């Protein structure tokens, strides 16, 4: 398990792994928003948490199709599948590796990007906290989507179409908690729901991902 | 004698083929009676004006939209557990019908919302969750289209249907929490406070019956088509093998 995790991390960080890509994408999306809605500080700080959430979500999506597709192309995936490790664990590790190389950097990058959007001081801890809680769910759900579309040629677009509706509850609770925190309102309910979604996804979706991987490798 | 006998494609077609014209006829009759009764013979509601009459299309299509997904969920489970091909094909056949019903519900709702709420669209929980349901249908149909191998496609879409159901339900409650609604409560419920008045009730039930029959007819017909298509492909492969 550890070997697979380290291998995935190494592959992601080294050249051609696209590690910095999602961060750069996140930066560009955040920079584009003020061009689109205007530079007015009040508007930007109001929509800031939501924009950063959507940006992080899209950046997560960007790196998903590499997850199994590369291993599938070079034939590593059948080898991993024949190892003693169950495919459910493989899916979980892939999700963890994805989060460590995408979700975690995005969470950390969200704070400096918040400055660009003129975010309120109170909003920063909530933004980082909700992203830290929510991005693991995005990674796990995305891993399921990637496992689903692994055998399909040019499955990237289909992957987005399948995964984005699944992201809706996470986005709603995450952005809502960040927004409420920024305005100093009670955040307990959305935050608990967000944590619940993450834990539930972590507990159940690796099984679904393992099942679809098995079907795709048949 | 058990229900699983109908998992035999031949028996399925033999049993359902005579039912289809009756279902279509019944749907036509119910919709004709229900819509004419509803549109021309019911009084105009004091709060809504004549726009209330779109309810005869809006409520049945919305009910079918949700129940079609539930039917797909059950069919997917049957496929995953018992591996009956007819079940997987029925789920495939129901998806575009359900998707169209979702679109009809969204569209009639927009047409109704314009005079009543002054807007075509509002981010109301019910409206939003229907839009999300539409996206789920879209993804499901797209996945069926993308995979050439029929068994693999059936497996993958079934798992997607299961996972999607959980997330669709979750989205429903998330959306509820996220925004307060403009939409009125349940149209048909045991709670008489919410219930529509009796004058509209009977034509509405007839219309719902018509939509149910229409859905049954369409799904049976499409399932039969899928079975025949699969048979045709098998025959073509056989012919190729003979000539080769």
Assign A203 to helix, strand or coil: helix
- Burial per residue of B20-40, b for 16 or more beta-carbon CB atoms within 10 angstroms, e otherwise: beebbebbeebbeebbebbee
Q: Predicted ipTM?
A: 0.86
Closest CA to A165 of B176, B212, B129: B129
Nearest CA in chain A to B128: A168
B159/A208 Cβ within 8 A: yes
Contacts of B170 in chain A (CB under 8 A): 169, 197
B159/A211 Cβ within 8 A: yes
CB contacts < 8 A, A to B, total 75
Nearest-CB residue to B175 (from A151, A166, A172): A172
A165/B167 Cβ within 8 A: yes
> Any CB–CB contact under 8 A between B142 and chain A?
yes
Closest CA to B79 of B67, B94, B93, B89: B89
Whether A53 shows a pLDDT value over 80: the answer reads: yes
Per-residue tokens: B50: 């004549």
Q: What is the full per-residue pLDDT of chain B (244 aa) written as tens digits?
A: 577 887 888 888 888 889 999 999 999 999 999 888 888 877 776 666 677 778 888 889 999 999 999 999 999 999 999 888 889 999 999 999 999 999 999 999 888 888 877 788 888 888 888 999 999 999 999 999 888 888 889 999 999 999 999 998 888 888 877 776 666 666 655 444 455 666 777 888 899 999 999 999 999 999 999 999 999 999 999 999 988 7
Cβ(A40)–Cβ(A114) under 8 Å?
A: no
Q: Which residues pair with B45 in a beta bridge?
A: B49
Largest CA distance in chain B: 74
Nearest CA in chain B to A153: B146
pTM: 0.88
For residue B212, the tally of other CB atoms under 10 A from its CB is: 18
A161/B142 Cβ within 8 A: yes
Which residues are within 8 A (CB) of A21 and not within 5 positions of it... i.e. 6 or more apart? A62, A63
Per-residue tokens: A23: 């961060």
Assign A213 to helix, strand or coil: helix
Cβ(A202)–Cβ(A103) under 8 Å?
A: no
Q: What is the mean pLDDT of residues A109-121?
A: 86
Cβ(A20)–Cβ(A109) under 8 Å?
A: no
Nearest CA in chain B to A151: B147
Per-residue tokens: A127: 């933004």
Compute CA distances B119 → A72, B45, B53, B161, whole Å.
Answer: 49, 20, 18, 33
Output the CA torsion sign for B54, B58, B60, B61: positive
Cβ(B56)–Cβ(B110) under 8 Å?
A: no
Rounded Cα distance between B112 and B57, Å, is 11
Nearest-CB residue to B143 (from A162, A164, A208): A162
Rounded Cα distance between A46 and A33, Å, is 13
B170/A197 Cβ within 8 A: yes
> Any CB–CB contact under 8 A between A68 and chain B?
no
Rounded Cα distance between A35 and A60, Å, is 23
Rounded Cα distance between B164 and A117, Å, is 34
Contacts of B127 in chain A (CB under 8 A): none
């Amino acid at each position: 398990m550890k070997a697979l995790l380290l291998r995935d991390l190494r592959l992601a960080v080294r050249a051609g792994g696209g590690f910095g890509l999602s961060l750069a994408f996140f930066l560009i999306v955040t920079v584009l928003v003020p061009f689109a809605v205007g530079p007015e500080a009040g508007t930007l700080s109001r929509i800031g948490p939501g924009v950063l959430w959507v940006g992080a979500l899209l950046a997560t999506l960007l790196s998903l199709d590499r997850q199994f597709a590369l291993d599938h192309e070079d034939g590593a995936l059948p080898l991993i599948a024949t190892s003693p490790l169950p495919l459910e664990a493989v899916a979980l590790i892939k999700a963890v590796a994805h989060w460590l190389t995408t979700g975690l950097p995005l969470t950390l990058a969200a704070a400096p990007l918040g400055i660009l959007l003129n975010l309120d001081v109170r909003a920063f801890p909530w933004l980082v906290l909700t992203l830290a809680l929510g991005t693991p769910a995005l990674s796990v759900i995305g891993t399921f989507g990637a496992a689903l579309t692994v055998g399909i040629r040019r499955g990237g677009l289909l992957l987005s179409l399948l995964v984005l509706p699944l992201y809706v509850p996470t986005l709603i609770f995450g952005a809502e908690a960040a927004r409420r925190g920024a305005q100093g309102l009670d955040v307990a309910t959305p935050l608990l729901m967000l944590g619940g979604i993450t834990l539930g996804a972590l507990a159940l979706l690796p099984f679904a991902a393992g099942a679809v991987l098995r079907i795709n490798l048949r | 004698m058990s229900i699983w006998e109908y998992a035999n494609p031949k028996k399925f077609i033999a049993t359902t083929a005579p039912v289809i014209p009756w279902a279509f006829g019944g749907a036509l009759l119910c919709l004709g009676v229900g819509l004419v009764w509803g549109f021309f013979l019911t009084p105009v509601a004091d709060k809504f004006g004549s726009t209330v009459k779109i309810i005869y299309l809006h409520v049945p299509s919305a009910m079918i939209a949700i129940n079609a997904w539930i039917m797909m969920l059950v069919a997917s489970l049957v496929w995953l557990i018992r591996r009956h091909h007819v079940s997987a094909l029925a789920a495939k056949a129901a998806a575009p019908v359900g998707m169209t019903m979702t679109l009809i519900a969204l569209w009639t709702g927009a047409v109704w919302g314009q005079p009543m709420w002054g807007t075509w669209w509002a981010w109301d929980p019910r409206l939003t969750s229907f839009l999300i349901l539409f996206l789920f249908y879209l993804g499901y149909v797209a996945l069926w289209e993308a995979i050439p191998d029929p068994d693999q496609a059936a497996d993958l879409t079934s798992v997607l249907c299961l996972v999607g159901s959980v997330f669709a339900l979750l989205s429903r409650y998330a959306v509820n929490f996220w925004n307060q609604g403009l939409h009125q409560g349940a149209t048909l419920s045991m709670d008489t406070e919410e219930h529509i008045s009796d004058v509209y009730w009977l034509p509405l039930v007839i219309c719902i019956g018509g939509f149910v029959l229409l859905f049954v007819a369409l799904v049976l017909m499409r399932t039969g088509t899928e079975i025949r298509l699969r048979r045709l492909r098998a025959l073509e492969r056989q012919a190729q093998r003979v000539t080769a």
